[in-house]
Amino acid sequence: MSNFWDLINIEEFEKRETFSDERWDISFYCKDCRKLVKADRPDAKWYTFVCPECKWEKVVIWTEQWLKNNYKIK
Ligand SMILES: [Zn+2]
């Protein structure tokens, strides 16, 4: 199942000039590992996130609460 928020991608975040790790209480969810992960950001200039466990970039970035609700994380 896919919905609107799944369409939020890396490019979208690059456009957010106000994007801030502190202001946005963001978390990372790996679609392959199916859990919250501490994603690496290889290049701080680009919002490219890599799952530290599977090394894929199928990482969804959003608030922890939203991720938990959407992906049914306990
Ligand atoms: Zn992963």
pLDDT in tens, the chain (74 residues): 445 555 555 555 555 555 554 555 678 899 999 999 987 666 666 667 889 899 988 888 888 888 999 999 87
44: CA distance to ligand 1 center in Å? 20
How crowded is residue 61: how many other Cβ atoms within 10 Å of its Cβ?
Answer: 19
58: CA distance to ligand 1 center in Å? 7
Q: Is residue 61 within 8 Å of residue 38, measured between CB atoms?
A: no
Structure tokens at 6: 């799944």
Distance from the first to the final alpha carbon of the chain: 19
15: CA distance to ligand 1 center in Å? 25
56: CA distance to ligand 1 center in Å? 6
Domain boundaries defined on the chain: 4-70
